[in-house]
Amino acid sequence: MSALDSLDWLAVRQQYDVREHTHHQLMAYRQKRAVAAFVELLLGISDPSGNYSAAEHGIGPRVLAENQNGVSRVFELAEKFIAIKTVHQVPSIIRQAGLRYLQIGVGSEASCMVNPQVCWVANTRTIWTHLVIKHADDFAQADEELQLYREADVTSEMEYSMWAEIHGELAGTITRIAEEGERCARQASVTPGTIKYLWADAIANELYTAYYQ
Protein backbone atom coordinates (compact mmCIF):
# COMPACT_ATOMS: atom_id res chain seq x y z
CA MET A 1 0.00 0.00 0.00
CA SER A 2 2.41 2.62 -1.26
CA ALA A 3 0.22 5.58 -0.31
CA LEU A 4 1.29 5.11 3.30
CA ASP A 5 5.01 4.71 2.68
CA SER A 6 5.78 8.43 2.62
CA LEU A 7 3.82 9.46 5.70
CA ASP A 8 5.41 11.20 8.67
CA TRP A 9 4.97 8.36 11.16
CA LEU A 10 6.00 10.47 14.13
CA ALA A 11 3.13 12.83 13.25
CA VAL A 12 0.78 9.84 12.98
CA ARG A 13 1.86 8.64 16.40
CA GLN A 14 1.39 12.11 17.88
CA GLN A 15 -2.11 12.26 16.40
CA TYR A 16 -2.88 8.84 17.83
CA ASP A 17 -1.68 9.93 21.28
CA VAL A 18 -3.98 12.97 21.18
CA ARG A 19 -6.99 10.83 20.33
CA GLU A 20 -6.19 8.18 22.92
CA HIS A 21 -5.83 10.87 25.59
CA THR A 22 -9.18 12.35 24.55
CA HIS A 23 -10.79 8.92 24.72
CA HIS A 24 -9.57 8.52 28.31
CA GLN A 25 -10.76 12.04 29.15
CA LEU A 26 -14.22 11.16 27.87
CA MET A 27 -14.29 8.04 30.00
CA ALA A 28 -13.20 10.06 33.03
CA TYR A 29 -16.06 12.53 32.48
CA ARG A 30 -18.46 9.62 32.14
CA GLN A 31 -17.18 8.05 35.35
CA LYS A 32 -17.75 11.35 37.20
CA ARG A 33 -21.16 11.80 35.52
CA ALA A 34 -19.95 15.14 34.18
CA VAL A 35 -22.54 14.91 31.43
CA ALA A 36 -22.24 18.41 29.96
CA ALA A 37 -18.43 18.25 29.82
CA PHE A 38 -18.62 14.77 28.30
CA VAL A 39 -21.05 15.86 25.57
CA GLU A 40 -19.17 19.06 24.73
CA LEU A 41 -15.97 17.06 24.26
CA LEU A 42 -17.69 14.27 22.31
CA LEU A 43 -19.07 16.87 19.88
CA GLY A 44 -15.72 18.62 19.47
CA ILE A 45 -16.95 21.82 21.15
CA SER A 46 -14.52 22.07 24.06
CA ASP A 47 -11.70 20.39 22.10
CA PRO A 48 -11.71 19.50 18.38
CA SER A 49 -9.95 16.20 19.13
CA GLY A 50 -13.21 14.92 20.60
CA ASN A 51 -14.83 14.95 17.18
CA TYR A 52 -12.95 16.43 14.24
CA SER A 53 -15.92 15.95 11.91
CA ALA A 54 -18.19 18.01 14.13
CA ALA A 55 -15.57 20.64 14.96
CA GLU A 56 -14.58 21.20 11.33
CA HIS A 57 -18.13 22.07 10.33
CA GLY A 58 -19.39 23.67 13.55
CA ILE A 59 -21.92 20.88 14.02
CA GLY A 60 -21.65 20.40 17.79
CA PRO A 61 -23.39 23.64 18.84
CA ARG A 62 -26.11 23.05 16.24
CA VAL A 63 -26.82 19.57 17.59
CA LEU A 64 -27.29 20.97 21.08
CA ALA A 65 -29.23 24.07 20.01
CA GLU A 66 -31.63 22.42 17.58
CA ASN A 67 -32.53 19.22 19.42
CA GLN A 68 -34.74 19.28 22.49
CA ASN A 69 -32.84 17.89 25.49
CA GLY A 70 -29.79 17.69 23.25
CA VAL A 71 -27.22 17.13 25.99
CA SER A 72 -29.04 14.23 27.60
CA ARG A 73 -29.91 12.67 24.24
CA VAL A 74 -26.31 12.77 23.02
CA PHE A 75 -25.19 11.25 26.31
CA GLU A 76 -27.77 8.47 25.91
CA LEU A 77 -26.53 7.86 22.38
CA ALA A 78 -22.97 7.53 23.66
CA GLU A 79 -24.11 5.02 26.28
CA LYS A 80 -25.61 2.91 23.50
CA PHE A 81 -22.32 3.06 21.58
CA ILE A 82 -20.43 1.92 24.67
CA ALA A 83 -22.75 -1.05 25.15
CA ILE A 84 -22.65 -2.47 21.62
CA LYS A 85 -20.68 -5.58 20.72
CA THR A 86 -20.64 -5.14 16.94
CA VAL A 87 -19.82 -2.02 14.97
CA HIS A 88 -22.48 -2.79 12.38
CA GLN A 89 -25.11 -1.57 14.83
CA VAL A 90 -23.76 1.99 14.70
CA PRO A 91 -25.68 3.36 11.67
CA SER A 92 -29.04 2.11 12.94
CA ILE A 93 -28.39 3.46 16.45
CA ILE A 94 -27.59 6.88 14.97
CA ARG A 95 -30.73 6.80 12.90
CA GLN A 96 -32.93 5.74 15.81
CA ALA A 97 -31.56 8.59 17.94
CA GLY A 98 -33.11 11.04 15.46
CA LEU A 99 -30.79 13.90 16.36
CA ARG A 100 -30.75 16.69 13.79
CA TYR A 101 -27.29 17.31 12.31
CA LEU A 102 -25.83 14.21 13.95
CA GLN A 103 -25.37 11.88 11.01
CA ILE A 104 -23.07 8.94 10.37
CA GLY A 105 -19.87 10.96 9.92
CA VAL A 106 -20.12 12.70 13.30
CA GLY A 107 -21.90 9.79 14.96
CA SER A 108 -19.42 7.11 13.92
CA GLU A 109 -16.55 9.28 15.14
CA ALA A 110 -18.33 9.64 18.47
CA SER A 111 -18.81 5.87 18.63
CA CYS A 112 -15.09 5.29 18.09
CA MET A 113 -14.11 7.84 20.71
CA VAL A 114 -16.14 6.09 23.40
CA ASN A 115 -15.75 2.47 22.23
CA PRO A 116 -12.60 2.28 20.09
CA GLN A 117 -12.12 -1.45 20.60
CA VAL A 118 -15.33 -2.10 18.65
CA CYS A 119 -16.19 0.99 16.57
CA TRP A 120 -14.39 2.70 13.73
CA VAL A 121 -14.65 6.19 12.26
CA ALA A 122 -16.51 6.63 8.97
CA ASN A 123 -15.91 10.30 8.24
CA THR A 124 -14.61 12.14 5.19
CA ARG A 125 -10.98 11.32 5.97
CA THR A 126 -11.38 7.59 6.54
CA ILE A 127 -13.75 7.22 3.60
CA TRP A 128 -11.28 9.05 1.34
CA THR A 129 -8.46 6.78 2.53
CA HIS A 130 -10.69 3.76 1.87
CA LEU A 131 -11.32 5.05 -1.66
CA VAL A 132 -7.60 5.63 -2.28
CA ILE A 133 -6.97 1.99 -1.41
CA LYS A 134 -10.00 0.79 -3.37
CA HIS A 135 -8.74 2.59 -6.47
CA ALA A 136 -5.14 1.39 -6.10
CA ASP A 137 -3.71 4.76 -5.00
CA ASP A 138 -5.55 6.68 -7.72
CA PHE A 139 -6.03 9.90 -5.75
CA ALA A 140 -7.98 11.65 -8.49
CA GLN A 141 -10.55 8.89 -8.66
CA ALA A 142 -10.83 8.84 -4.87
CA ASP A 143 -11.45 12.61 -4.90
CA GLU A 144 -14.15 12.26 -7.52
CA GLU A 145 -15.99 9.52 -5.67
CA LEU A 146 -15.68 11.33 -2.34
CA GLN A 147 -17.67 14.22 -3.79
CA LEU A 148 -20.74 11.95 -3.85
CA TYR A 149 -20.61 11.82 -0.06
CA ARG A 150 -19.73 15.47 0.43
CA GLU A 151 -22.53 16.74 -1.81
CA ALA A 152 -25.32 14.48 -0.55
CA ASP A 153 -28.26 16.17 1.15
CA VAL A 154 -27.64 15.36 4.83
CA THR A 155 -31.38 15.16 5.49
CA SER A 156 -32.16 12.68 2.73
CA GLU A 157 -32.83 8.96 2.91
CA MET A 158 -30.30 8.46 0.10
CA GLU A 159 -27.60 10.20 2.13
CA TYR A 160 -28.21 7.93 5.10
CA SER A 161 -28.16 4.83 2.89
CA MET A 162 -24.91 5.87 1.17
CA TRP A 163 -23.08 6.53 4.41
CA ALA A 164 -24.48 3.44 6.13
CA GLU A 165 -23.31 1.28 3.22
CA ILE A 166 -19.79 2.65 3.16
CA HIS A 167 -19.58 2.44 6.95
CA GLY A 168 -19.94 -1.32 6.52
CA GLU A 169 -17.51 -1.43 3.60
CA LEU A 170 -14.75 -0.03 5.79
CA ALA A 171 -14.48 -3.29 7.75
CA GLY A 172 -11.65 -4.80 5.74
CA THR A 173 -10.02 -1.50 4.82
CA ILE A 174 -9.69 -0.26 8.39
CA THR A 175 -7.90 -3.44 9.42
CA ARG A 176 -5.62 -3.23 6.39
CA ILE A 177 -4.76 0.40 7.15
CA ALA A 178 -3.93 -0.44 10.76
CA GLU A 179 -1.79 -3.45 9.88
CA GLU A 180 0.06 -1.77 7.01
CA GLY A 181 0.52 1.30 9.20
CA GLU A 182 2.07 -0.84 11.91
CA ARG A 183 4.61 -2.16 9.43
CA CYS A 184 5.45 1.29 8.09
CA ALA A 185 5.71 2.81 11.56
CA ARG A 186 8.11 0.12 12.75
CA GLN A 187 10.25 0.66 9.65
CA ALA A 188 10.40 4.32 10.65
CA SER A 189 11.35 3.35 14.23
CA VAL A 190 8.00 4.59 15.56
CA THR A 191 5.92 2.55 17.98
CA PRO A 192 2.44 1.90 16.54
CA GLY A 193 -0.70 2.71 18.49
CA THR A 194 -2.26 -0.18 20.37
CA ILE A 195 -5.95 0.61 19.85
CA LYS A 196 -6.55 -0.50 16.27
CA TYR A 197 -9.39 1.81 15.24
CA LEU A 198 -7.84 4.92 16.78
CA TRP A 199 -4.56 3.99 15.10
CA ALA A 200 -6.25 3.58 11.70
CA ASP A 201 -8.04 6.89 12.19
CA ALA A 202 -4.76 8.66 12.94
CA ILE A 203 -3.23 7.21 9.75
CA ALA A 204 -6.21 8.29 7.63
CA ASN A 205 -6.08 11.76 9.16
CA GLU A 206 -2.40 12.17 8.35
CA LEU A 207 -2.76 10.84 4.77
CA TYR A 208 -5.68 13.15 4.09
CA THR A 209 -3.87 16.14 5.62
CA ALA A 210 -0.65 15.44 3.71
CA TYR A 211 -2.51 15.19 0.42
CA TYR A 212 -4.72 18.25 0.79
CA GLN A 213 -2.17 20.64 2.29
Instruction: Identify the pLDDT of residue 160.
Output: 76
Whether the pLDDT of residue 150 is over 80: the answer is no
Phi then psi for 104, rounded to 5 degrees? -65, -35
What is the tens place of the pLDDT at every residue in 169-197? 999 999 999 999 999 999 999 999 999 99
Instruction: Read off the pLDDT of each residue in 73-94 and give the average, rounded to a whole number.
Output: 97
Q: Is the torsion defined by CA of 33, 35, 40, 43 positive or negative?
A: positive
| Residue bearing the bigger pLDDT, 59 or 145 | 59
What gap in Å lies between CA 3 and CA 18, rounded to an integer?
23
Q: How many CB atoms lie within 10 A of CB 85?
A: 7
Whether the pLDDT of residue 156 is over 60: the answer is no
Q: Residue 12: enclosing H or E segment and its boundaries?
A: helix 9-31
| Residue bearing the bigger pLDDT, 138 or 152 | 138
Question: Residues 63, 76: contact at Cβ < 8 Å?
Answer: no
Residue type at position 111:
S
What gap in Å lies between CA 140 and CA 15, rounded to an integer?
26
Share of the chain above pLDDT 70, in %: 94
Q: Is the torsion defined by CA of 29, 33, 38, 40 positive or negative?
A: negative
Tell me which of 33-37, 131-135, 182-186, 194-198 is least confident. Answer: 131-135
Whether the pLDDT of residue 113 is over 80: the answer is yes
Instruction: Identify the pLDDT of residue 157.
Output: 55
| Residue bearing the bigger pLDDT, 211 or 64 | 64
Structural domain spans, the chain: 2-212
pLDDT confidence of 149, banded at 50, 70, 90? confident
pLDDT confidence of 158, banded at 50, 70, 90? low
pLDDT confidence of 163, banded at 50, 70, 90? confident
